[in-house]
């Protein structure tokens, strides 16, 4: 049996990263007794995470200083000989950890000196769309490149969420294809399994007239999320067809909220745009269920968690028509160019006026969701863990 440290370095306010980590833990909980999982977090708010016991690991300036000292080979030999100023690994090694599995991309892996690690990489969108300020300003592009170039070659395994993403990692960073795996993105287990808040009415909470159509977009306010397209589509529907469709936005402000709301005011559709901030998991399900559609015109992908959640709950999905996106959605979603507000308006009008068509899209979505079983992701992890277990048996006692 090998002991695997599962590192969770997110909080519930980080959006998709948090939900992805929860889903990863849920999948790991289905493993058999060949592996023992120990859970760690650097975030003190995660004292209980997905009903698992979490060990809080301290990581700060002291650990970074020790890392810098140990990078000097002469100093490293001395420190190792006398077992002083041990590396960051020692926080896991004292618990008998053999392998570290990160539930989300984390630069903490760079501070591991001895322990091997498995690292998921959700996207390389800074290379797909380097124009956006969130992946360019403040040398963010360089920081991402530096992290990937240092972390990926040393990883025991790298896990991408699509074949398109896997191919990009291999091509862009010169990785051995045998070490890069593809494991499909799951839906958020927190949202799908949350107990619905009793007597909660999404229409009332969002100040939308009862049973009036609304679209849903759970996304942080980054420029690449492209909220603007939705506002333009609402404006077009209102002026061209006298159709009022509301939009419910939720998610933290990452710099683009004010611009988005001001643009809605400029287009005279402020009354149709409802920003709700953070929505708890036990309410999120009802916003999906009661919406006309999930609309996600994001430039970043090709995999995103909301489409999978919408598929599972029974909500039509509209996403961007960009390279790689088709791999996640198949024929179960509708696609639009991320600049085509008239195309989006046309789809929304059709969904609103044709319930039968909407039902057909919902059924396709449910079938698509069922085609991504947890067993498929477990097989990938089995391959990674089994290969590592044999190798470590060649140098570690008691194997």
Answer yes or no: do 40 and 76 share one domain.
yes
Answer yes or no: do 164 and 15 share one domain.
yes
Dihedral class, residue 226 (left if φ above 0, else alpha if ψ from -120 to 50, else beta): left
| 316 in any annotated domain | yes
* pLDDT for position 353: 97
CATH number of residue 206's parent domain:
3.40.50.2000
* pLDDT for position 67: 82
* pLDDT for position 187: 62
| 399 in any annotated domain | no
| 159 in any annotated domain | yes
Answer yes or no: do 50 and 134 share one domain.
yes
| 36 in any annotated domain | yes
Answer yes or no: do 353 and 259 share one domain.
yes
Answer yes or no: do 333 and 200 share one domain.
yes
Cα–Cα distances (Å) from 135 to 33, 125, 138, 198, 345, in that order, read: 41, 8, 9, 41, 29
Q: Which residues contact 182 (CB under 8 A, 6 or more apart)?
A: 159, 160, 161, 162, 163, 165, 166, 380
| 398 in any annotated domain | no
Q: Which tokens belong to 105? A: 């991309």
Answer yes or no: do 206 and 142 share one domain.
no
Q: Convert 239-260 to b/e letters by CB count within 10 Å (16 or more is b).
A: eeeebebbbbbbbeeeebbeeb
Answer yes or no: do 153 and 202 share one domain.
no
pTM for this model (two decimals): 0.88
Answer yes or no: do 143 and 225 share one domain.
no
Q: Which residues contact 216 (CB under 8 A, 6 or more apart)?
A: 247, 248, 287, 288, 291, 293, 294, 295, 315
- Structural domain of 88: 2-186+373-392
* pLDDT for position 190: 58
Instruction: Tell me the C-alpha distance between 47 and 61, whole Å.
Output: 22
Q: Tens digit of pLDDT per residue, the chain (399 long)? A: 899 999 987 655 555 566 666 666 666 666 566 788 898 988 766 555 555 678 888 888 888 888 888 888 888 888 888 888 888 888 999 999 999 999 889 999 999 999 999 999 999 999 999 999 999 999 999 999 999 999 999 999 999 999 999 999 999 999 999 999 999 876 656 566 666 777 899 999 999 998 899 999 999 999 999 999 999 999 999 999 999 999 999 999 999 999 999 999 999 999 999 999 999 888 999 999 999 999 999 999 999 999 999 999 999 999 999 999 999 999 999 999 999 999 999 999 999 999 999 999 999 999 999 888 777 888 899 899 999 999 999 998 766
| 165 in any annotated domain | yes
Cα–Cα distances (Å) from 364 to 87, 139, 213, 228, 268, in that order, read: 51, 42, 21, 28, 35
Query: Which among 108, 146, 87 has a CA at the least distance from the CA of 8?
Result: 108
Using only C-alpha atoms, the chain has a radius of gyration, in whole angstroms, of 23
Q: Per 3-state DSSP, what percentage of the chain is helix, strand, and coil (rounded to 5)?
A: 50, 15, 35
Answer yes or no: do 107 and 67 share one domain.
yes
Answer yes or no: do 9 and 144 share one domain.
yes
Instruction: Tell me the C-alpha distance between 198 and 262, whole Å.
Output: 34
φ and ψ of 91, to 5 deg: -65, -25
Q: How many CB atoms lie within 10 A of CB 152?
A: 20
| 53 in any annotated domain | yes
Instruction: Tell me the C-alpha distance between 120 and 365, whole Å.
Output: 26
In total, how many domains does the chain have? 2
Answer yes or no: do 337 and 230 share one domain.
yes
Answer yes or no: do 225 and 106 share one domain.
no
| 397 in any annotated domain | no
φ and ψ of 213, to 5 deg: -70, 140
Query: Which among 271, 263, 282 has a CA at the least distance from the CA of 221?
Result: 263
Instruction: Tell me the C-alpha distance between 217 and 246, whole Å.
Output: 11
């Amino acid at each position: 049996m090998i002991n695997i440290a599962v590192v969770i370095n997110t909080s519930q306010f980080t959006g998709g990263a948090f939900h992805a980590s929860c889903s990863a833990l849920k999948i790991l909980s289905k493993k058999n007794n060949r592996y023992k999982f120990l859970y760690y977090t650097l975030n003190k708010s995660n004292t209980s995470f997905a009903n698992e016991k979490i060990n809080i690991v301290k990581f700060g300036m002291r650990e970074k200083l020790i890392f810098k000292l140990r990078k000097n080979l002469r100093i490293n030999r001395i420190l190792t000989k006398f077992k002083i100023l041990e590396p960051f690994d020692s926080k896991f090694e004292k618990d008998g950890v053999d392998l570290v599995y990160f539930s989300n991309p984390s630069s903490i892996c760079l501070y591991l000196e001895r322990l091997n690690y498995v690292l998921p990489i959700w996207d390389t969108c800074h290379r797909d769309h380097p124009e956006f300020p969130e992946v360019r300003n403040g040398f963010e592009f360089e920081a991402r490149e530096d992290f990937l170039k240092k972390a990926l070659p040393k990883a025991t395994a790298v896990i991408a969420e699509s074949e398109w993403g896997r191919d990009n990692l291999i091509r862009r960073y010169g990785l051995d294809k045998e070490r890069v795996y593809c494991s499909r993105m799951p839906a958020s287990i927190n949202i799908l399994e949350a107990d619905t808040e009793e007597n909660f009415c999404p229409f009332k909470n969002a100040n939308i007239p009862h049973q009036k159509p609304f679209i849903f977009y759970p996304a942080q306010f980054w420029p690449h999320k492209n909220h603007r397209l939705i506002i333009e589509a609402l404006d077009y529907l209102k002026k061209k067809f006298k159709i009022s469709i509301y939009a419910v936005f939720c998610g933290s402000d990452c710099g683009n909220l004010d611009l988005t709301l001001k643009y809605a005011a400029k287009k005279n559709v402020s009354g149709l745009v409802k920003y709700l901030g953070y929505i708890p998991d036990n309410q999120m399900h009802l916003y999906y269920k009661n919406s006309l559609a999930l609309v996600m015109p994001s430039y970043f992908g090709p995999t995103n968690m909301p489409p999978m959640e919408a598929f599972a709950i029974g909500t039509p999905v509209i996403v961007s028509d960009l390279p790689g996106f088709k791999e996640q959605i198949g024929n179960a979603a509708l696609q639009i160019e991320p600049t085509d507000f008239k195309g989006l308006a046309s789809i929304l009008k059709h969904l609103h006026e044709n319930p039968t068509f909407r039902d057909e899209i919902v059924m396709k979505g449910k079938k698509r969701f069922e085609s991504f079983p947890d067993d498929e992701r477990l097989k990938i992890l089995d391959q990674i863990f089994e290969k590592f277990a044999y190798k470590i048996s060649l140098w570690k006692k008691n194997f």
